[in-house]
Amino acid sequence: MKASKKPKAVVRNIGDLVDKLSILSRKIYFGEENAISEHRFVEQELMLSGIPGKLVTNTIRLTQMNIEIWNLEHEMRKVQEGTGQFTFEEVGKRAIKIRDLNRKRIEYKNIINDLAGNQFRETKVNHLSGGIAVR
């Protein structure tokens, strides 16, 4: 009689986990709420590997905000350089979007500082990007 084989445990490497977390984070950013439970699961897998999942998540979120801000500002720079054209209304919409993304960017930086045990907390006083929580 042949001995039955035990199923192999699925072992994912840290790169795969971070890659999956970045994809899921992007899906959540664009409103795919069904990705949230898998995102939490991958964060836990990272934690079991000794990597702080919440720190990775908020680093990904910070990166996303920086990319979004950069893209919006890049398009506006192209207009300033004369290679594109926006209406005043479009410039205003982009400025508001940049302000809102900056609010999130600052909050993610603060979350990262909290998770790392750093007492520094960035705040904006009399600035349009201050005063919103993303937690």
3-state secondary structure the chain: CCCCCCCCCCCCCHHHHHHHHHHHHHHHHCCCHHHHHHHHHHHHHHHHCCCCHHHHHHHHHHHHHHHHHHHHHHHHHHHHCCCCCCCHHHHHHHHHHHHHHHHHHHHHHHHHHHHCCCCCCCCCCCCCCCCCCCC
pLDDT on residue 77: 84
- Its pTM stands at 0.78
Domain range list for the chain:
12-51, 61-135
Cα-Cα end-to-end distance for the chain:
57
Whether the predicted pLDDT of 110 surpasses 70: yes
Place of tokens 């986990």: 17
Share of the chain above pLDDT 70, in %: 84
pLDDT on residue 75: 87
